Amino acid sequence: MAQKTALITGITGQDGAVLAQILLEKNYHVHGMRPYSAVPDTARVEGLDITLHYGDVTDGGAILRLLETIKPDEIYNLAGMSHVHVSFDMPELTANVNGLGPIRILEAMRLMHAQKEIRFYQASSSEMFGRAPAPQSEQTPFEPCSPYGASKLYAYWMVRQYREAYGLHASNGILFNHESALRGEEFVTRKITKAIGQIEAGLRNRVSLGNLDAKRDWGHAHDYMHGAWAMLQQKTPDDYVLATGQSYSVRDFLAKAFAVIGVNIIWKGAGLNELGINKQTGQTIIDIDPALFRPTEIHNLIGDASKAKHLLNWTPRHSFDDLVTEMVQADRIVQNAAPMKYGT
């Protein structure tokens, strides 16, 4: 079979790096688009046999030139302003990058459609469900409650629009939270596992967090990027939820993660005065910072991935326990000899 060419936008992030590894294993020629950054941002893809290009989803001309040059078979749009809390501070930028960015790619594809059929994957998000009651599936009406969720929802509908109006092979992957040792440190799971490694090594005393009772359906990035690839192998484009079907609170994640290094937590106090105490030593290891609460919050996400299971034969391989253990172990300073990797 001829070697396929893929373009990944947002290649320097967790998902981009994981997907690049999966595609290389499948013998793809992998191109990555990354925005200019004054500080080094390619650590996650260091050593991979890929071609990097400067480009940005806010620059339509750059995208069109790139597509004309590399003529990809598949495009995975993983570029985005991905931090939900930050989207409240930068709603316009969030709309431009997350909402309009995919349209710039779809427009370029539309211009090239006569020359070449390109398949397109859009990183849609469970954040689009917002306040909709769990469990959430492709049939659940969306009710976003953040600028991030609203921006992703606009892009979701535009992907469907281009699919229906112009016959583009464009699919939405509605992915619930997915994590790994490559997760950015600004997201709660990695923030916790990184802090645990530092607390264990005596480099800090505690970690400050926001809402401990929010529940998320946390899966492993490797499983989810494999699902993204599977979506583009289908003859017909479509929209799919990827999720584990189980949800845990931030508090549950903390308990499991600290248990990996043998620490049990006792909770004392309530609300903003709540503290997590190390049962063995009596030291405070968790406190609450009101600045980390969001103006509006999703309380519970649980995905129903039956459609992906049925049509893509997709099923998550990693359990919640596997995920938490892998992330904590990767961030241990005391006993961690292995370099960061996403797991298998």
**Interface residue list for ligand G4F (CB under 6 A):** 82, 84-85, 125-127, 176-177, 186-188, 191, 209-211, 214, 216, 250, 292, 294, 297
- Within the chain, strands assigned E span 5-9, 29-34, 51-54, 74-77, 119-125, 169-175, 178-179, 207-209, 215-216, 219-220, 239-242, 248-249, 265-268, 275-278, 284-288
**Cβ 24 to ligand G4F shortest distance, Å:** 24
Q: Dihedrals φ, ψ of 89, to 5°?
A: -85, -25
Rounded to whole angstroms, how far apart are CA atoms 307 and 330? 33
**Cβ 190 to ligand G4F shortest distance, Å:** 8
**Cβ 206 to ligand G4F shortest distance, Å:** 12
Nearer to ligand G4F, 34 or 178 (CB): 178
Nearest to 123 by CA among 94, 159, 166: 159
| ∠ CA 309-312-314, rounded to 5° | 50
Rounded to whole angstroms, how far apart are CA atoms 60 and 96? 12
Nearer to ligand G4F, 84 or 308 (CB): 84
Nearer to ligand G4F, 72 or 343 (CB): 343
**Cβ 326 to ligand G4F shortest distance, Å:** 17
**Cβ 56 to ligand G4F shortest distance, Å:** 18
| Residue 101 and residue 62 in contact, taking contact as beta carbons nearer than 8 Å | no
The DSSP symbol for 100 reads I
Nearer to ligand G4F, 115 or 284 (CB): 284
Q: Dihedrals φ, ψ of 183, to 5°?
A: -60, 145
**Cβ 236 to ligand G4F shortest distance, Å:** 25
Q: How far is CA 262 from CA 324, 325, 334, in A?
A: 14, 12, 14
Nearer to ligand G4F, 128 or 312 (CB): 128
**Cβ 246 to ligand G4F shortest distance, Å:** 14
Nearer to ligand G4F, 122 or 126 (CB): 126
Nearer to ligand G4F, 210 or 245 (CB): 210
**Cβ 181 to ligand G4F shortest distance, Å:** 15
CB-based contacts of 51, cutoff 8 Å, min separation 6: 29, 30, 31, 32, 70
The single residue listed with the structure tokens 């009651």 is 133
Q: Exposure of 74 by Cβ count < 10 A (0-12 exposed, 13-18 middle, 19+ buried)?
A: buried
Nearer to ligand G4F, 84 or 150 (CB): 84
**Cβ 168 to ligand G4F shortest distance, Å:** 23
Nearer to ligand G4F, 96 or 211 (CB): 211
- Report CA Rg, the chain: 20
Rounded to whole angstroms, how far apart are CA atoms 91 and 86? 8
